[in-house]
Amino acid sequence: MEKEKSLKDMQAEVHTYISQFKEGYFSPLAMMARMTEELGELAREVNHYYGEKPKKGSEDEKSIEEELGDVLFVLTCFANSLNIDLQHAHDTVMKKFNTRDKDRWTKIDQNEE
C-alpha cells in the first residue's frame, strides 16, 4: 500500500521532477495557458461521460481521473514557480468558506440523516 502524500510532499515531488531539466518551470503566463489547455481536456472528458457529446470512435479513451491528475500537476508547477505553499493556500480559502460563506448554502439537518 502506497503512503498518502501531503500537498507539501506533492509539491516537493514535482519540484524534484522539474529541477532535473535546464528549462525549469515555465513562465506564469505559459503556465496559465497550459492550465487552460488541461482544463479544456478535463471539460471534454466530463462532457463525454456526463454530457450530450459522446466520443467519436477514433478518439482516445482517457479518464476524468487522468485529466484531473494533469490539472493537479500543472497547478502544482504553477504554485511552485511562484513559491506558493498549496497547504497554506488551501487553509486560507477554507477559512474564507467557513466564515464569509458559512451561511451561503442550505445545511443538512443532522436529524434528517
Per-residue model confidence (pLDDT) at position 107: 83
- Contact at 8 Å (CB) between 18 and 83? no
> Phi/psi class of residue 20: alpha, beta or left (left: φ > 0; alpha: ψ in -120 to 50)?
alpha
Per-residue model confidence (pLDDT) at position 17: 98
Per-residue model confidence (pLDDT) at position 112: 66
Per-residue model confidence (pLDDT) at position 39: 97
Q: What is the dihedral of CA 93, 72, 55, 37, to 10 degrees?
A: 90
User: pLDDT tens-digit profile of 75-106?
Assistant: 999 999 999 999 999 999 999 988 988 888 88
Per-residue model confidence (pLDDT) at position 101: 82
Per-residue model confidence (pLDDT) at position 22: 97
User: Whole-angstrom Cα distance, residue 71 to residue 58?
Assistant: 24
3-state helix vs strand vs coil in the chain, percent to 5 = 60, 0, 40
Per-residue model confidence (pLDDT) at position 62: 78
pTM, whole model, 2 decimals? 0.83
Low-confidence stretches of the chain (pLDDT < 50) are none
- Contact at 8 Å (CB) between 82 and 28? yes
